[in-house]
Structure 1
Amino acid sequence: MVELIWVGIIIVLFVFLMHKEIHHLTVSKFEIHSDKIPVEFDRAKVVLLTDLHNNTFGENNEDLLRRIRNEHPDYIMIAGDMLVGHKKADYYGTLNFLKVLSEEFTIYYVNGNHEQRLAEEKDTKDTIYKEYHDILEANGIHFVHNRTIKIKRKDAVINVTGLEIASDYYNKFNRPAMTNEYIETCIGKCNPKTYNILLAHNPMYFDYYVQWGADLVLSGHVHGGVMRLPFLGGVISPQYILFPRFDSGRFEEGSSTMLLSRGLGVHTLKIRIFNRPEMMVFTLNRDE
């Protein structure tokens, strides 16, 4: 009997900690430096959102909205999976949150694999996904699915490109090999003279994003590895890779940087251990 009581206490404690972990977000801040950043964009601030998965922070996501407003960003960039890719999931909370956000900020959005699933399946593409996409687009959100948008300040430009790779590249097993040629078929060649921000939901292919020419990659998908351990980092990726090379934080290769967010939500297995949801904020700095 005593053993059962202790088991019950442990289960209740675990559930409490999971709820606390899932609904208490952190804000991580980064400085990005490059001599390719035009002087007109010096000190421009961006909030990165990803992997909300219909999670909420306060009623109507007021806590998340407050955190964003407190940063006074110039732009918001979304690296996908704001929804759960299931036809029975309630996505109206996320839709309304993004509608409110779009009234105050300029937003650039690329699909993650969950939006992509809704866009591809025959019983959701012309219903759930179309409604979600069309309403947000009508509210001024810029979708960058395999296309580039030029952000202009006076006569200066930086490029924001969204990469949407085929669903097969998210497979847990038997994933096709990524190639530079495939990325170029999706988004064309990179202009090396312009500062290029690449929204790419899946960080697994960072090496290829670098070869394409991305100066800054913004990703999510991995949820920080679900559980984080001291010195070891994230434990497992959605592709069942143990201790994935790219789990969360900042990664550098040559002159390219990737910011990989732990994301804002969970789905299916609603577990986060030592791995609170994360909103990333970064500031662009012109290096002379």
Structure 2
Amino acid sequence: MCAIFLIIFIFPLVTYLYAFQFEPKSLSITWTDIKNSNIPEGFQGVKIVQFSDTHFGPHFSHKQQQMLVDQINELKPDIVVFTGDLIDKFGEYASERKDSQTILSQIHAPLGKYAVFGNHDRGGGGGYLYKQYMEEVGFTVLVNETKKIKANNGDYITISGLDDFLLGKPKVQQTLQHLREKDFNILLVHEPDVIEKVLAYPVDFQLSGHSHGGQVQLPFIGPIITTSLANQYVEGLYSIQGKMKPLQLYVNRGIGTTRMPFRFFSKPELSVFSLKN
């Protein structure tokens, strides 16, 4: 009788409290070496930290935001990238936006901070606010453009960013057609499944988010719900053969939540990449 009571009442309650109170406030840090013969000497051991899908709002307090930024800085990144969906409803939470901006401005990265639009940044009034908002805290927002990141010895890698594929106006050919096969080329794009449109170009490393890792996963089953343009690639590192050279894709599980303030077996994630030749 006691066992039946535990199964029917206690276990669901504990699961609910864990998914609502504990896991969304935890943080997983994943470390990955990115090995590629195109990485120049000046970028050996350079550290990139990716965060994504913060969905700042009522379910993500400024205390959590400060802890996130402190953790990013503790990792001592050379480059920081944000792959979209900063605020859940960008047109709302005006007072919270300002406080969040103050916190984000504290992120340090000597070789630069880069960001792209996500669908939540384009929607809900964010399309006219997000770029300036991020630039004011030191991020370069890449909208269908490519920049060179230069090391002290003159070596460089490239970083490109595509506009959001759901609500923006991405221009794949215009953005990627001038990439050189001999360079190490990074691409930021919010939705991971668009990689099929990228394989014709010499991209070495694509960083994406959007999926939340499913946000809710079940043991032995995996994500019970995936989202548009994040059905095939849901989390972690993938190796894919492109038309010009191999491409690695990393899909970050994101930090915040959307639709429902739950996470289950899909912890918020900071991704750390070390570049190696």
- TM-score normalized with structure 1 length: 0.81
Stretches of structure 1 that go unaligned for 5 or more consecutive residues are 171-177
Does residue 103 of structure 2 align to residue 116 of structure 1? no
Whether the 8 Å CA contact 2:185–2:202 is kept in 1: the answer is: yes
The CA distance in 1 between the partners of 2:115 and 2:31, in whole Å, is 20
The CA distance in 1 between the partners of 2:185 and 2:86, in whole Å, is 23
Whether the 8 Å CA contact 1:201–1:221 is kept in 2: the answer is: yes
Task: Give the CA deviation at 1:269.
Answer: 1.7
What is the match of residue 238 of structure 2? Answer: 251
Equivalent position SS for 1:210: coil
**AA of the residue aligned to 2:146:** T
The CA distance in 2 between the partners of 1:100 and 1:228, in whole Å, is 33
TM-superposition CA deviations, 1:230-282 (whole Å, max 9, x none): 454333212298xx321100000122101111110101222211111111001
What is the match of residue 113 of structure 2? Answer: 107
The CA distance in 1 between the partners of 2:71 and 2:190, in whole Å, is 22
1:265 to 245, 256, 273: 256
Aligned-residue identity in percent? 25
What is the match of residue 195 of structure 1? Answer: 184
The CA distance in 1 between the partners of 2:47 and 2:37, in whole Å, is 17
Whether the 8 Å CA contact 1:48–1:77 is kept in 2: the answer is: yes
Whether the 8 Å CA contact 2:192–2:229 is kept in 1: the answer is: no
CA gap 1:135/1:247 in 2 versus in 1, 3 angstroms? closer
Bigger drift between 82-91 and 260-269 goes to 82-91
What is the match of residue 103 of structure 2? Answer: 97
Equivalent position SS for 1:218: strand
Whether the 8 Å CA contact 1:223–1:263 is kept in 2: the answer is: yes
Task: Give the CA deviation at 1:84.
Answer: 1.1
The CA distance in 2 between the partners of 1:186 and 1:240, in whole Å, is 20
Q: How many residues align?
A: 265
Whether the 8 Å CA contact 2:144–2:174 is kept in 1: the answer is: no
What is the match of residue 34 of structure 1? Answer: 36
What is the match of residue 75 of structure 1? Answer: 79
What is the match of residue 166 of structure 2? Answer: 167
Equivalent position SS for 1:212: coil
2:226 to 227, 234, 237: 237
CA gap 1:39/1:103 in 2 versus in 1, 3 angstroms? closer
TM-superposition CA deviations, 1:77-97 (whole Å, max 9, x none): 111112113522443443222
Whether the 8 Å CA contact 1:23–1:57 is kept in 2: the answer is: no
The CA distance in 2 between the partners of 1:109 and 1:75, in whole Å, is 11
TM-superposition CA deviations, 1:121-140 (whole Å, max 9, x none): 4xx555xx1xx532431343
1:44 to 43, 46, 49: 46
Stretches of structure 2 that go unaligned for 5 or more consecutive residues are none
Matches within 5 A, 1:194-233: 194-233=183-222
- TM-score normalized with structure 2 length: 0.84
The CA distance in 2 between the partners of 1:203 and 1:281, in whole Å, is 18
Which structure features the higher share of helix residues?
Answer: 1
The CA distance in 1 between the partners of 2:191 and 2:99, in whole Å, is 24
**AA of the residue aligned to 1:85:** K
Bigger drift between 219-228 and 88-97 goes to 88-97
Equivalent position SS for 2:259: coil
Equivalent position SS for 1:66: helix
Bigger drift between 220-229 and 134-143 goes to 134-143
TM-superposition CA deviations, 1:156-212 (whole Å, max 9, x none): 110000011443689xxxxxxx9xxx5204554422221100001100122222322
The CA distance in 1 between the partners of 2:259 and 2:111, in whole Å, is 31
**AA of the residue aligned to 1:43:** G
**AA of the residue aligned to 2:163:** E
Does residue 66 of structure 2 align to residue 62 of structure 1? yes
CA gap 1:281/1:111 in 2 versus in 1, 3 angstroms? same
Equivalent position SS for 2:106: helix
Whether the 8 Å CA contact 2:62–2:100 is kept in 1: the answer is: no
Q: State the Cα RMSD in Å.
A: 3.0
CA gap 1:213/1:282 in 2 versus in 1, 3 angstroms? same
